[in-house]
Every structure is written in structure tokens, then in C-alpha cells.
Structure 1
Amino acid sequence: MTLQSTSLPDFSTTTLYGDQNKTNDTDCPDLYDWEWLHTSQPVYILIITVLGIMFNVFVLMVFCFHKKACTVAEIYLGNMAAADLILVSCLPFWAVYVSNGFIWPFGLFLCKVVNLGIKVNAYSSIYFLVLVSIDRYMALVHTMSHGRMRRPKYAKLGCLLMWGFGLLLSVPTLVFREVRYFPEFNVHACFLDYPSINAELLFDGILIVFSFIIPISIISFCTVKIIHALKIQAIERFNAEKTEQKATNLMLAVLLAFLVCWVPFHVVTTLNVLLRAKLMGGCHLESVLDICNQIFTYLAFFNSVLNPILYVIVGKNFRKKVCELFKQWRICKTATPESSRSSNLSATLKTLV
């Protein structure tokens, strides 16, 4: 997609980061028909929005209203659900943007805020997974030596730091997101307006390192050690660690889903940076990356719906909490009329006395 394209200008791509706003100086023709953007993508986005809001609100309700306090792993997963909820809440604005022919009708403030919400989710989610991986690593590999660090207050502090770090990585969105009128396409586009190509490559390189390479390296190290520890426990038949293994199985499932949904997007983003740095080239490669960028972006969005489903399917402790919460609500409903009647009776006796 190029700025010479009449079907879909480059600044209107619906990529998650929106960093592919290259002012095109090539003569590459469009090899794909982009009309499907205006029809299929808004519908898909709205489906993801409805399912994501329902499922993640349900997860947060279970974690917040259950009578027992959340474990360290559940604190991390609850924050992941909150981050996913922020993302899917921002997507309807993007659906309107796409269906409106890439004319941004919501003004500069929402242009910055909506994209900020999407990016904070992207960065915070992977670092919540880092925290979950480190917690499982400590629980299974260093069971005795790091027990004090696996406390809810430290988990909450870690989550607060990760929210702050995700917000820090999203600063370029607040600074460089702009709404600009392009007379050649007759649209007001919400896009990243970097001051120069060098600044664009610098910020993109920093984001790739801190939002992909470093967290994936930490997660990979912890996962290898965790799987090794689980094999040893299976051989020695440790029964005392069944609770830890259940939590670890859920973590591994969530991690696998995250990798399947997000790694293709990060790989394509990296290739796009190399393309803009002129370390790679070719019209066919550019067109392939454009179409992959669209597909893998919405695959990444789907992760926000997939996580709550995994909690129910894989998380036995989560299902147990759901059942206990429903029982708790039923008891409250049945107890409320009786308690009100008893309070009325005691009030009547007091007046009689």
C-alpha cells in the first residue's frame, strides 16, 4: 500500500502500532484489492469487541468478587484481563474509522487516547506474562529460596510497575499521533507523524527491543526451566505440587496462545522496519508485508478474546472459583429475604417493648 494508492492510502492502515506511515518514494503498484478492509474488518472488529468485553468483564468479576483473595498468578492474570478489556473497548472507534473510508471523525484527543489504549495493552500484556513466567519459575525451580518474593503485595507492585512501563513505551503515540487532512484522498486521517525517517526507525527499533526481544527472551528462559522442573516432578511423582502444576499448565496455555497470536505480528513489524531502513527491498515483499500486517494485526486482537476462554477450559482453579462464586450469590439471594424479615421482626419487638 502506498500513498499513490487510490484504494487505500498508506496512512490509513489499521495496523496496531500504525507505524507503517511511510511517505512512499517507490513506484510499486498495489498487488491486492483492499476493498475487503471496508466490509469485513469492521464486522470482525465489532465481534471481537463484544466477545472481548463480555469475557474479560466476567473474568474480572470472578477475581474481584470471590470471597477468597487472589493468588499471585491470579493477580497477574486479572491485570491481563484488564489490559485486554482496555484494548477491546478501544476497537469500536477503529471499526468506525475503517468503515468510514478512513476518515477519523472523533478529533485529535480520541485519536491519541484510543491508540494509546491499544498500545498500552500490547506492551503491558507481554510484561504481565513475563511476571507470570517468573512467578512460575520461582514456584517450581526455586521453591524454597524465593518464597518471600511470591506475595500478593509484591505482585500488585509488579503490576503497577508494568502498567507504568507500558505507558512509558506508549509516549510516542501521545506525542506524534495527529489528525491531518490529505486533499489528494479527501480524508482526515489519524496517523503517526514522526518528524523524520530516522526518528521513526529509532522509536520502532526501541519498541521492537523492549516489547518483543527482551520479554520473549525472559519468557523463553523461564519456560524451558519450568518444563524441565515439571518433568523432574513427574518422574519423582511429587503430589505436593499439584496446585502449582495446575497454575503452571494454565500459564503455559496462555503463553502459547499469546505467542501464536502476537509473534507473527512482531515479526512482520520487524520486517517493515528493515524495509523502511532500506536493508530489504522489492515490490513483492512490500505488498506481502502489507497484507500480512493486516491479517496478523487482527490475529493479535483475537488474543484478548482467547485468554478468558483458556481460563475456563484449562484453569481448573478458575472453574472452581466460578462455581463457588455462583453458590455465594445464590446464598446471598436466599438469605436476603430472611434477614430482612428478621430485622423487621426485631424492630417491631423493640417498639412493643
Structure 2
Amino acid sequence: MGSLSLAGNFVVIWVFMNTKALRSPANLLVVNLAISDFFMMLTMTPPLINAYWGTWILGGFFCEIYGFLGSFFGCVSIWSMVFITADRYNVIVKGVSAEPLTSGGAMLRIAGTWLFHSCLVPSSLLRWNRYVPEGNMLACGTDYPD
């Protein structure tokens, strides 16, 4: 699944960035989503060594880093989808009377998403929360019960 996701998101990024007709403000949000998903799968595909041993064996530090990257890229992806949805809502509901999304507006949303989560997600590394092995012990995630 990781390999398919990496390849698929890479193709989306490559096609949208190399096809001039697809370079619209709304598609900047789609490319941002593909970039975030690409890096999520690049960093979040469970290490095969964990599957071999049947547990998380990379230690607490790597569990924290793994969980941090998953939270960071996951939040960026979610907010990218929120902005894509808001843009589509604006176009569908308001139609031609809607104020169109500009390149500057799209870039502001993209930069704001990355900046906001660069400040928010590291709070877990300051021990306001923690990441622990979860489920089948092959990956680490937020310690929700704690």
C-alpha cells in the first residue's frame, strides 16, 4: 500500500505541476494534499522489521518521531481537504456570483496550514502528550487513553 500511495501521489504532483492547463488556484490545494500524503506514506509505512518481530522494536525515540510525523502530515492533509471542500462549496452553492479563489489565497491557506501545524504538533514532543505503539504494535500513534 505504501508503494502504491507513493507512486500515485508522485504522479498527481508531477502531472499537475507539468501541465500548464491544470495550474489553477484550486489545483494548488490538490497538489498540497498530494505532497502531504506523499510524505505521510514515505514516513509512515510501518517498518518491515517490526512486522518480522511482531512488535515495535525501534525504541521510544523513534516511536515519538514516527508518531509526530504521522500527526503532522495527517493534520496538513485534513486541512488541505477542508480548504478543497470549502472552495468546491463556494463554487457549487454560489456559482458565478462566488468570489473565485486566487493563487495568493490558495498559497496563503497552504502556508498557513504548514505553519500552524509546525507550531501545534511539536507540543507532543514537549510532553503535553505522547506517542506509543498501537494496535498490532507495528506502528506508533497518539496515546489517546492517557
1:64–1:76 distance in 2 versus 1, CA, 3 Å: same
Secondary structure of residue in 2 paired with 1:146: coil
State TM-score, norm by structure 1: 0.34
Correspondences of 1:1-353 after superposition (within 5 Å)? 48-68=1-21, 70-100=23-53, 101-104=55-58, 108=61, 110-142=62-94, 143-147=96-100, 150-176=101-127, 177=130, 273=145
Residue type of the alignment partner of 2:70: I
Report the CA distance between 1:191 and its aligned residue.
Answer: 7.2
Residue type of the alignment partner of 1:140: I
Secondary structure of residue in 2 paired with 1:78: helix
Report the CA distance between 1:77 and its aligned residue.
Answer: 1.1
1:168–1:96 distance in 2 versus 1, CA, 3 Å: farther
Which structure 2 segments of 5+ residues have no match?
133-139
Residue type of the alignment partner of 2:4: L
Higher relative contact order (CA 8 A, sep 6+): 2
1:172–1:131 distance in 2 versus 1, CA, 3 Å: same
Report the CA distance between 1:136 and its aligned residue.
Answer: 1.4
Report the CA distance between 1:82 and its aligned residue.
Answer: 0.9
State TM-score, norm by structure 2: 0.74
Report the CA distance between 1:114 and its aligned residue.
Answer: 2.6
Deviations 1:218-275 (A, max 9, x none): xxxxxxxxxxxxxxxxxxxxxxxxxxxxxxxxxxxxxxxxxxxxxxxxxxxxxxx5xx
- Which whole-Å CA distance do the structure 2 matches of 1:76 and 1:93 have between them? 27
**Structure showing greater Rg:** 1
- Which whole-Å CA distance do the structure 1 matches of 2:35 and 2:71 have between them? 14
- Which whole-Å CA distance do the structure 1 matches of 2:141 and 2:79 have between them? 26
Seq. identity, %: 21
Secondary structure of residue in 2 paired with 1:170: helix
Which structure 1 segments of 5+ residues have no match?
1-47, 180-189, 193-199, 205-272, 277-353
Report the CA distance between 1:140 and its aligned residue.
Answer: 2.5
- Which whole-Å CA distance do the structure 1 matches of 2:112 and 2:72 have between them? 13
- Which whole-Å CA distance do the structure 2 matches of 1:71 and 1:154 have between them? 12
1:146–1:67 distance in 2 versus 1, CA, 3 Å: closer
1:50–1:191 distance in 2 versus 1, CA, 3 Å: closer
Residue type of the alignment partner of 1:64: M
Residue type of the alignment partner of 2:21: K
Contact 1:123/1:169, CA 8 A, preserved across alignment: no
1:145–1:58 distance in 2 versus 1, CA, 3 Å: closer
